[in-house]
A and B are shown apart, each in its own frame.
Chain A
């Protein structure tokens, strides 16, 4: 029998209502799993088990009383860039090592109000900048499928926790692929909704025009359940979209017969591993079997998206991270005057990748270079959006690999920032264009590492995306588990 901590939230919610289990029991299964694997996986930066026990007991009372929300009592992990009142939130950075937020991010506030159970805060690349989780000041997370490999990033801890059964589901953030890429590398479902569908309030900013809260789940239906709880207009985030809250599981099983699916030509070129290519091609064949009409589509500016992203995101980051000045929160290293204090504080508090991006962004925004770099990148952003708009005139949905490669060895790309940045080549366009995208596990490569297939839909077409994802997931029937779990005592 599958352990409670390895089941989907949907299965657990049903079991809770039929009296088959309790929230406390589910929580203890997660806690036991954390005890069994966390010394090897290292997904968490902080654990909140005492808080979780109280929340689980309360959720049991709510479910017994009837009418409890779907997320009640299901153990959750939160990426450590999401603010939690009273629980240290470090962003994977030394500069916020002791920071305890005085308020909750809206996503967690909504989950908490509906009876969610918080297991802890997960490790991530510092300030969400990275594709391997190796940029955390607190050490790397290890991929549960192969402990010598990265889980992807930047939300690596959230992805690994769900893959290893430490959490039933988790939230991350996605600025250039930081939910979808680790989901692909860890064999779980990763959803990045439309920009603005989930409030960014309390999401500690990296690049404000790209940052999106996203979900890690074991099934597409679970992603729909989690999204339904946290999406919706928030007066605390002026960029949150004014769309009515809805149940995203509605119509999820309606199938994809007649849906026009565009295969992105540029996403099967050089640099894509052969196993990734064949696994994603097989998934596309499944979609055709399900009655979708499949065709090829070109997004001619794909090559420029990476360049535009690595100007826009660092520029916004250099501005956002100016707040870490040793005055209101976080680290301070004293100096003779304010400027010296700030320079020393930031020099000591930030890691190599964050410094690299602050420098890159500062340069791209500085007098004399602004037009050549930031200004031009914003124009390319327009061209990327036009590519997608043209593609969506002919197709309802686009498909590509999520990442060109499966999980790579820890250390393999740390000295080559450009090679690392290429990990995000297929995920970045959805951030630049604001469109929703999902990564779904579609197979294993020759080494037994998971491959993810990415679907992208037009802005606010989450229901189409989830419906297609659900149909594809059922057809693929991915049921492999990390070898690590097979070694555990029953």
Chain B
């Protein structure tokens, strides 16, 4: 059975604006893909440990030394909007 998905909720979580047509298409396609993907549940037994990285590594540390960072103007060069050496964004908090 194709999986039923709350597309509006997932799109909101993903911060993705979708047209009605996109929502319809994704609802159908994701349902089928997830039905196929759910096969993983057939073999993933309790006692099988999960793998996040194929080549296991413990924490990797670097020496605690200061190294130069990118120049500020290079970092800001690609930003859509900049003000006073900062990234400028639309209003985030409501002011009374």
- Which chain A residues have a beta carbon within 8 Å of chain B's beta carbons? 98-100, 102-103, 194-196, 209, 235, 238-239, 241, 301, 303-304, 307-308, 310-311, 318, 322, 325-332, 334-344, 346-348, 350, 352, 355-356, 358-360, 362-364, 366, 372-373, 375-383, 385, 417-418, 421, 432-435, 459
The answer to whether B50 touches A382 (Cβ under 8 A) is yes
Counting CB contacts under 8 A, is B38 at the interface? yes
Q: Which 7 pairs of residues, A with B, have the shortest CB-CB distance?
A: A434-B54, A347-B17, A378-B50, A379-B44, A332-B80, A329-B78, A102-B74
Query: A418, B33: Cβ atoms under 8 Å?
Result: yes
B42 and A304 form a contact (CB under 8 A): yes
Which residues, 18 to 74 on B, are CB-close (under 8 Å) to A? 18-19, 22, 26, 29-30, 32-34, 36-45, 48-55, 57, 60, 62, 70, 74
A318:B80 contact, CB within 8 angstroms = no
State the B residues within 8 Å of A (CB): 5, 7, 10-11, 13-19, 22, 26, 29-30, 32-34, 36-45, 48-55, 57, 60, 62, 70, 74-75, 77-81, 87, 89-92
User: Which B residues are in CB contact (< 8 Å) with A459?
Assistant: 54-55
Task: Assess whether B40 is in contact with A376, with CB atoms less than 8 Å apart.
Answer: yes
Contacts A359-B11, A359-B16, A377-B40; A433 near B87 (Cβ below 8 A): no
- A460 (CB) vs chain B CBs: closest residue: B55
* Complex CA–CA separation, A303 to B57 (angstroms): 28
Q: By the criterion CB–CB under 8 Å, are A307 and B36 in contact?
A: yes
Q: How far is the CB of B22 from chain A (nearest CB, A)?
A: 7
Establish whether residues B40 and A304, one from each chain, have CB atoms under 8 Å apart when the complex forms: yes
Distance A333 CA – B46 CA, assembled complex (angstroms): 46
- Complex interface: chain B residues within 8 A of A356 (CB): 26, 29-30
* A99 to B10 CA separation, bound complex (whole angstroms): 28
Given A332-B81, A336-B90, 16 additional A-B pairs, CB 8 A: A238-B60, A310-B36, A311-B40, A338-B90, A346-B16, A346-B17, A355-B26, A360-B34, A363-B34, A364-B37, A376-B40, A377-B44, A381-B54, A385-B54, A434-B54, A435-B54
Q: Cα distance A362–B55 when bound, in Å?
A: 25
Q: For the complex, give the distance between the alpha carbons of A441 and B39 in Å.
A: 33
Question: Are B50 and A360 within 8 A (Cβ)?
Answer: no
Distance in angstroms between the alpha carbons of A326 and B49 in the assembled complex: 38
- A196 partner residues in chain B, CB cutoff 8 A: 55
Asked whether A434 lies within 8 Å of B50 as measured between CB atoms, the reply is: no
Q: Which of B32, B79, B89, B92 contacts A418 (CB 8 A)?
A: B32
A418 cross-chain contacts in B, Cβ below 8 A: 32-33, 36
Q: Which chain B residue shows the least CB distance to A380?
A: B40
Q: Are B78 and A103 in contact (CB under 8 A)?
A: no
Residues of chain A lying within 8 A (CB to CB) of residue B75 = 102, 328
A431 to B3, CA, bound (A): 27
Whole-angstrom distance between the Cβ of A311 and the nearest chain B Cβ: 5
Residues of the A chain whose Cβ atoms lie less than 8 Å from the Cβ of B81: 332
Q: Which of A311, A364, A378 contacts B51 (CB 8 A)?
A: A378
Residues from chain B with Cβ under 8 Å of A350 in the complex: 16
How far apart sit A385 and B51, CA to CA, in the bound complex (Å)?
Answer: 9
Instruction: Decide: B70 and A102 in contact? CB cutoff 8 A.
Output: yes
* Contact between chains at B55 and A363 (CB < 8 Å): no
B47 — nearest CB in chain A belongs to which residue?
Answer: A379
**B17 engages A382 (CB within 8 Å):** no
Q: Which residue of chain B has its CB nearest to the CB of A102?
A: B74
Q: A336-B90, A344-B17 are in contact. Are A381 and B50 (CB under 8 A)?
A: yes
Known A328-B78, A336-B90, A418-B33; judge A382-B51 contact (CB<8 A): yes
- Once the chains bind, are A347 and B16 in contact (CB under 8 Å)? yes
* Minimum distance in angstroms from A161 CB to a CB of chain B: 27
Residues of A within 8 Å of B40, CB to CB, are 304, 307-308, 311, 373, 376-377, 379-380
